[in-house]
Chain A
């Protein structure tokens, strides 16, 4: 109905900000972009608030009053919940994908592709035996579909001689300015930035600490500060060479 103050949209909850008043401001990513709404008394147990948990895929009816910035949540239907995302082995990566999607949509509406890749990444984290690889591949995909992927020069080739990653310039090349990358790191980065995600997910992905650091530097420069990425990349020195950086989880 044209002009209706009620609106129904589907979306994934990417951020929740509980307020001391008991309300919760939720940020959702939909196919048509990012939006926010306030769930009155959203901290109460059960009912609508329970469906507005982080990472839930929901259908939300909102009511927008004339002078209010934020629409009020009036009904919520759960479309999908991924229980494994609270697992400490997966949780930091789910935060990373949600926060990165949130940051990438601050200024520009990247609708359908970003929503689709966030949903794909969260579903992958829920079922895959290697959540770290899922997170790396999908984090780079979010950057790619936002139009911020680095320019990979053809002379990088298979990365046999290593490469230079010019973070401010957004360029990956065989020589020139930038951080020196070892051959394995360079080839991994090329695959993450250029290859189809399905192919990258199907193959081993070595040198993960270095790949996380590269992503961390790149996102910090070109997007914004992403706290969950800092937490993951920051643990790299203590991480094993195969599994790469892990969140500080007792194992």
Chain B
């Protein structure tokens, strides 16, 4: 049995979303069909508004309301510390914010260096970061890229580039997740945790 055209279109479009397979798309489509028209309108309005009203912060490249001059973090004078934490994705920024341990500003790269995927320094926001450095906005950089090979390579590249501008650079610490048993840690993480061990005072 074939679905009516509007339903088939809805399933197809939902199925294009990341993490949504054909069965999930079908379930979501039937769920939306059963909801009130007002609820569906609200969802459609939210989707349109997000696409229309969101943009990248001209300073840190984080997500912001398109009508504002900068994102809330860049506008916050209390964060005028000169510390800039470099992350790969906006979601990483939110994760660090949730930790409550950092009160400086950010720079979002929107990716990591990956030659096999055609991603070089100019394909992420590294040139914009170097502009911020040249403008004196960055007195210290904290590299919080992922601990994948791609993230490591990006961090090492940035360390060299920022080092040329004599900006102090640090890398987030390597270590074991809190609350886990040591025997279940992978060898790479464990090796790095031992290599980067710290003295207990």
Contact = CB atoms under 8 A, between A and B. Distances in A.
A and B associate in one complex: yes
Interface of A: 15-16, 19-22, 45-51, 53-56, 76, 78, 81, 85-88, 91-92, 95-96, 98-99, 102, 226-228, 230-232, 247-251
A88 B156 contact: yes
B186 A78 contact: yes
Interface of B: 18-19, 113-118, 120-121, 147-150, 152-153, 156-157, 160-161, 164, 176-177, 180, 184-189
A21 B19 contact: yes
A86 B186 contact: no
Contacts, number: 94
Contacts of B147: 45, 50
Contacts of B188: 50-51, 53, 56, 78, 81
22 contacts: A16-B148, A45-B189, A46-B176, A46-B180, A46-B189, A47-B184, A47-B185, A50-B189, A54-B149, A55-B149, A85-B149, A86-B149, A86-B152, A88-B157, A91-B157, A95-B114, A95-B115, A96-B116, A99-B115, A227-B118, A249-B157, A250-B161
Nearest to B151: A86
A153 B166 CA distance: 54
Nearest to A248: B121
Contacts of B118: 227, 230-231
Contacts of B120: 231, 248
A230 B118 CA distance: 9
Nearest to A20: B18
Contacts of B149: 53-55, 85-86, 91
Q: Is the interface of B mostly helix, strand, loop or mixed?
A: helix
Interface centre among B117, B147, B176 (most CB of A within 10 A): B117
Contact of A88 (B19, B153, B176, B177): B153
A131 to B, nearest CB: 13
A102 B161 CA distance: 31
A247 to B, nearest CB: 7
A53 B180 contact: no
Given A248-B120, A250-B164, 11 more contacts: A19-B19, A46-B180, A50-B186, A78-B188, A81-B187, A81-B188, A86-B152, A87-B156, A98-B116, A99-B115, A249-B160
The 9 closest A-B pairs by CB, nearest first: A20-B18, A21-B19, A228-B115, A86-B152, A50-B186, A99-B116, A95-B115, A227-B118, A54-B149
Contact of A51 (B121, B164, B187): B187
A177 to B, nearest CB: 31
Contacts of B185: 46-47
B79 to A, nearest CB: 27
A231 B115 contact: yes
A25 to B, nearest CB: 13
B191 to A, nearest CB: 8
A99 B118 CA distance: 11
Contacts of A96: 115-116
A78 B115 CA distance: 24
A46 B19 contact: no
Interface centre among B19, B148, B152 (most CB of A within 10 A): B148
